[in-house]
Amino acid sequence: MATYHVKQTEGDWQPIEADDVEGASESYVDQYADPAEGSTYWIVLTVLTPTAEEIRIESYAVDPLEPECPSSAGHHWTTSGQARGNGGGVRWVDRCSHCGLERHRDTWAQDRVTGRQGLDAVRYVRRSESEAVPN
């Protein structure tokens, strides 16, 4: 392990112990990014390696926390079969057969800040009984 320093565009350098740039980025996001957003969002990171090389990472994904399933077995995701094309990717909805939570996936999402496309995104939707879509 080595000490890397990581920051967001306007942030302060944070020392992170990691094996490589990817590990340092992941640790930084786990510690400092806010996963409470309703869906995936992207941040720009700069990583300073132990050899003082600066590496800029565009569109690092911060996924929302997956809500817990009230079932002791945890979520059991089933695909709704409603996949549809979206740009160069696909959108689809998985639904938990235990609690009804929907997981919306998009393999051609767009970063609203940078405009970059072709990113993977996820968001979770809990529908009321009256608006739930059957499996």
pLDDT at 8: 92
pLDDT category at 9 given cuts 50, 70, 90 is confident
What is the tally of structural domains in the chain? 2
pLDDT at 16: 96
pLDDT at 130: 42
Residues in the chain: 135
pLDDT category at 33 given cuts 50, 70, 90 is confident
Going 101 to 66 to 36 to 45, the CA torsion angle's sign is: negative
pLDDT category at 135 given cuts 50, 70, 90 is very low
pLDDT tens readout for residues 43-61: 999 999 999 999 999 889 9
Identify whether residues 53 and 87 lie together within a single domain.
no
The whole domain housing 28 covers 2-62
Within a domain: 113 = yes
pLDDT category at 87 given cuts 50, 70, 90 is confident
Position with higher pLDDT, 1 vs 37 = 1
Within a domain: 70 = no
pLDDT tens readout for residues 91-115: 999 999 999 999 999 999 999 888 9
> Average pLDDT, stretch 55-80?
91
Within a domain: 68 = no
CA gap 12, 10 in Å, rounded: 7
Convert 87-127 into a string of H (helix), E (strand) and C (coil): CCEEEEEEEECCCCCEEEEEEEEECCCCCCEEEEEEEEECC
Q: Which residue from 131, 128, 84, 118 is spatially nearest to 104, judged by alpha carbons?
A: 84
Report the share of the chain in percent with pLDDT over 90: 68
Within a domain: 67 = no
Identify whether residues 82 and 106 lie together within a single domain.
yes
